[in-house]
Chain A
Amino acid sequence: MSAAAPSVETLSSSRVTEDLLRPIVETTWRFWAAISVLGTIMAWAMFCWGYQIVEGLGVTGYNRTSMWGSYETNFVFWVGISHAGTLISAILRVTGASWRRPITRAAEAITVFALMIGPMFVMIHLGRVWLFYWVIPFPNLRDLWPNFRSPLLWDFTCINSYLLGSITYLYLPMIPDIAAVRDAAGTRLAPWRRWIYRLLAMGWEGTPRQWALLERAISIMCVIIMPLAVSVHTVVSWVFSMTMNPMWHSTIFGPYFVVGAIFSGIAAVLVALFVIRKLLNLEAYIRPEHFDKLGLLLITFCLLWGYFTFAEHLTVWYNKEVSETAVLLGRLSGPMAPLFWTMITCCLLIPLPLLILKRTPFGTLVASLSVLVGMWLERYIIVVGTLTRPRMQFVWHSYTPSWVELSIMAGSFAYFAFLYLMFAKFFPIVSIWEFKEGQRQ
C-alpha cells in the first residue's frame, strides 16, 4: 500500500488540505463499528466501577498485604505513556528536527488523553471515592487542609499542571488548523460541528503578526513543558521510593521511571501512528522514515531502560540485605518469576533484534506492542512484587487481580482508543500548517 504513496514534494497545497481533512469530513462504517465495540467495553467497565463503589473495594483482589495492585500499576502506566508527546513535540521542536512535523499532533494527543486516564485510576483505587475532592485545597470552616508532605499530593499538583499544560500545548499549534477546518470544510459539516470550530479558532486570521506570536508562544511552551514532564513522572516514582519498603526505597527511581515513561511513550506513539496511517490512508504523510527514526529512539531508550534495570537488580543482589533479597528472589525465581522474565523478554529480547538492523513500520509495530506489554508488567512487578514480600514475614501473601480490575483495565484502554478516535474525527491528526511549512523548507 505504501509503494504507491506520492513523495512529499509532489503534494500540492490543496491536495494536502484535502487529504488531511478527509477523515473529518467523511465517516465510514468502520468508524461506527469501532465506536460500538469500544462503547460496549466502556459501558461494561463503568458498570464494574459502579459495582465496586457500591460494594466496596473487596470486589478486587487486594488484601491486607497488597494494599496496592493493578489500579496503581495502571495509573503509573498511563502517566508514563503521557511522556510521548512531550518528547516528540517539545524536544524535537527545540532541536529543529524537521521529520517531527507530521507526527507531533498525534503524539501530543496521546499525552493529553493518557493524562486524563491515569488520574482516573487514582479515583478508582480510592476507598471512599465520593470524597476525592478532599485532596483539593479549598477554604473551609473545619480547619481541614490536604497534606503537602504526602507524595500523593505532589502527584496531584504536578499532574494537574502537566495536564492543563499539555492541553494548552495541544491547542496552540492546532489553532491555525481549526481555522482551516472551519474554512475549507465548514460547508460540508453539520452546523453544530461548524460552531465548535468557530469557537475554538477564535480570531485567527493568519496574519504575519499572529504567526510570529504563535511560533514564539509554542517555543516558550516547549521549554516549560519539558521540565514539567520530567517532574511529573519523578514525583509519581517518589510515591514508591519515599516509603521504606524493600526495593521501593531506591534513589534510582526518579530517573528510572522517567526513562521507562519515555520508553513506553515512544512505543505508544509508534502503535498509534501505525494505526492511523492504515485507517486514515495517510501513507504519504506518515512515512517509513518516521518509523525508522522513532525506532532508533526506541532502541536508545530500550538500552537505557535495560541499563537502569540491571543496575537496580545488581546492587540489590550484591548486598544480600534480608528484606530486599526476599523481594529480589520473589522476582527472579519466586512467584513473580514468570512475569519478570516475560517482562525482560518483551522489553529487551523482542524489540532489540527487530529494531537493530532495519526498522520497518510493521517491525516497529510488533516491537512497540511488545514494549507496551513489558512496561505494564514492569510497573506491576514493582508494585506487587514488593508489597507481597513485606518486612514482616508472617504476613506474606499473594495477590491476583480480580475480574472487576481486569474489566476496568480493559475499559481504560477502550476509553483511550475512543477519545483518540473522536479526536481524529474532529481535528486533523496531522498538522496541516506544519507539514506545509516543512514542504516549503
Chain B
Amino acid sequence: MRWGMVIDLDRCNGCEACVVACRAENNIPTVGPEDCEKGRMMSWIRIERYFEGEFPNVKARFMPVLCQHCEKAPCEPVCPVYATYHNHEGLNVQVYNRCIGTRFCANACPYTVRSFNWFDYHWDAPLDRQLNPEVTQRSRGMVEKCTFCVQRIKNAGIEAKDEKRAVKDGEVQPACVQSCPAEAMVFGDLDDPTSRVARQSRSGRAFKLMDDLGTEPKVIYLKPVDWKGTEE
C-alpha cells in the first residue's frame, strides 16, 4: 500500500481552495503580514504561479506544490533524532514531539515544502473554536509539513478494520483533494492497479516534479493541454 496523489494541472485554476482547506484541517497558524514579508509563510501546500509568454499572449500556469512523500526522501536520513521517517504505508511521517528543530530536513528537501514554527502561534477567540481536535497544535521550534492528512487516513483505516474490510478507493480524501472545486486532485493507493490514482498516473500527460533527482516522489502531475486549434 502506497498512498499517492495525482494533480491534473489542466484543471487547476489557481483558486487556492486547497490551501485554505489544508489550513483549516491541520491547524496551520497565520503568521501575520510582517513574518510573511520575511518569507515565513506556513502553508503546507502552495500554488506556484508562473507566467509564460508576452502580453497579449500571456498564460498563467498554476502548480500546487506539497510534500511529495518521496520514496527516497532526502529529508529522512538527515534528521539527527529520527523525527521524520518513512512508514509502511509509504507516507513520509513527521513526528512533532521528537523534533528538536535543527531544520536539516527542511534544507535537504529540494522542493522546499517544509515549514518551521518560528513562534508559539495563537488563535484569538473565537477562531480557537474552529481548531481540528484530531491534529496536534505544534509548539515553537518544530518542523511541519503536509502529512496527506494522516488523521483522515487513520480514521478510515480504523473504520475499515471495525467493519472487517479493506479501505475503499476514494474513501480517504485529504482536505485539499476534498475541497478542490475543479476536482483536479485525486488521492489513493498507487499500489492498487484499479484505483483512480493508479490509472491516472499511467496517463501520457503524467510527469513528476524534478524526478531526475532520484527522489521518487509520489505526487504525479498531469501536464496541461494547450488548445492550438483555429477559431473555426
Give the interface size class of chain B: 35 or more
A151 vs chain B, min Cβ distance (A): 7
Q: Is B123 an interface residue (CB 8 A)?
A: no
A63 close to B110 (CB less than 8 A): no
Given the interface contacts A56-B119, A147-B82, does A65 sit within 8 Å of B112 by beta carbon?
yes
Query: Nearest CB to that of A58 among chain B residues?
Result: B118
Which of A96-104, A126-134, A189-197, A432-440 lies at the binding interface?
Answer: A126-134
Q: Interface size class for chain A?
A: 35 or more
Q: What residues of chain B lie closer than 8 Å to A68, measured between beta carbons? A: 103, 107
Contact of B77 among A61, A135, A149 (CB under 8 A): A149
**B78: contacting residue among A55, A152, A398, CB under 8 A:** A152
- B106 and A67 contacting across the interface, CB-CB below 8 Å: yes
Which of A56, A387, A391 gathers most chain B CB within 10 Å?
A: A56
A57 at the interface (CB under 8 A from B): yes
B224 part of interface (Cβ distance < 8 Å): no
Give complex CA distance A399, B120 in Å: 21
Looking at the complex, which one of A63, A134, A147 makes contact with B38 (CB distance below 8 Å)?
A63
Q: Which residues of B contact A125 (CB under 8 A)?
A: 102-103
**Given A64-B115, A127-B141, A390-B110, are A135 and B103 neighbors across the interface (CB < 8 Å)?**
no
Chain B 88-120 near chain A by CB (<8 Å), digits 1 or 0 = 000000000011111110111011101111111
Nearest A residue (CB) for B141: A127
Whether B213 and A244, one on each chain, are in contact in the complex, defined by CB atoms closer than 8 angstroms, is yes
Instruction: Check A423 for interface membership: any CB of B closer than 8 A.
Output: no
Taking the complex as formed, is B20 at the interface, i.e. its CB lies under 8 A from any CB of chain A?
A: no
Q: Is B177 an interface residue when CB atoms closer than 8 A count as contact?
A: no
Q: Are A147 and B77 in contact (CB under 8 A)?
A: yes
Beta-carbon contact of A64 and B40 below 8 Å: yes
Report whether B80 and A135 are in contact in the complex, using a CB–CB cutoff of 8 Å: yes
**Smallest Cβ-Cβ distance to B74: which chain A residue:** A244
A126-B110 contact in complex given A57-B118, A64-B39, A153-B80, C-beta closer than 8 Å = no
Q: Does the CB pair B100–A58 fall under 8 Å? A: no
Interface check B21, CB cutoff 8 A = no
- Does B140 belong to the interface (CB within 8 Å)? yes
Chain B interface secondary structure, helix, strand, loop or mixed? Answer: loop
Residues of chain B with a CB closer than 8 A to A55's CB: 119, 140
Q: Is the CB of A156 within 8 A of B119?
A: no
**Cα-based distance from A394 to B14 in the complex (angstroms):** 14
Tell whether B48 is near chain A: CB-to-CB under 8 Å: yes
Is the pair B78, A395 in contact by a Cβ cutoff of 8 Å? no
Name the A residues within 8 Å of B98 (CB-CB).
134, 144
Whether A132 and B100, one on each chain, are in contact in the complex, defined by CB atoms closer than 8 angstroms, is yes
Interface residues of B in 16-55 (CB under 8 A from A): 35, 38-42, 46, 48-50
B65 touches A (CB below 8 Å): yes
Residues of B within 8 A of A150 (CB): 77-80, 104
Confirm or deny: B210 has a beta carbon within 8 angstroms of a beta carbon on chain A.
yes
Docked pose: A392 CA to B77 CA in angstroms: 21
Closest to B111 in A: A392
Encoded as 1 (CB less than 8 Å from any B CB) or 0, chain A from 395 to 418 comes to 101110000000000000000000
Report the Cα distance A63→B35, complex, angstroms: 8
> Within 8 Å of chain A (Cβ to Cβ): is B142?
yes
Chain A residues, Cβ within 8 Å of B143: 127
11 A-B pairs besides A65-B39, A127-B143, A397-B38 with CB distance below 8 A are A56-B120, A63-B40, A64-B106, A127-B103, A128-B142, A149-B77, A151-B104, A152-B104, A243-B107, A243-B108, A244-B108
7 closest Cβ pairs, A-B complex: A127-B101, A127-B141, A58-B118, A63-B39, A397-B39, A56-B140, A128-B141
Measured CB to CB, the residues of B under 8 A from A are 35, 38-42, 46, 48-50, 65, 74, 77-82, 98-104, 106-108, 110-112, 114-120, 139-143, 210, 213
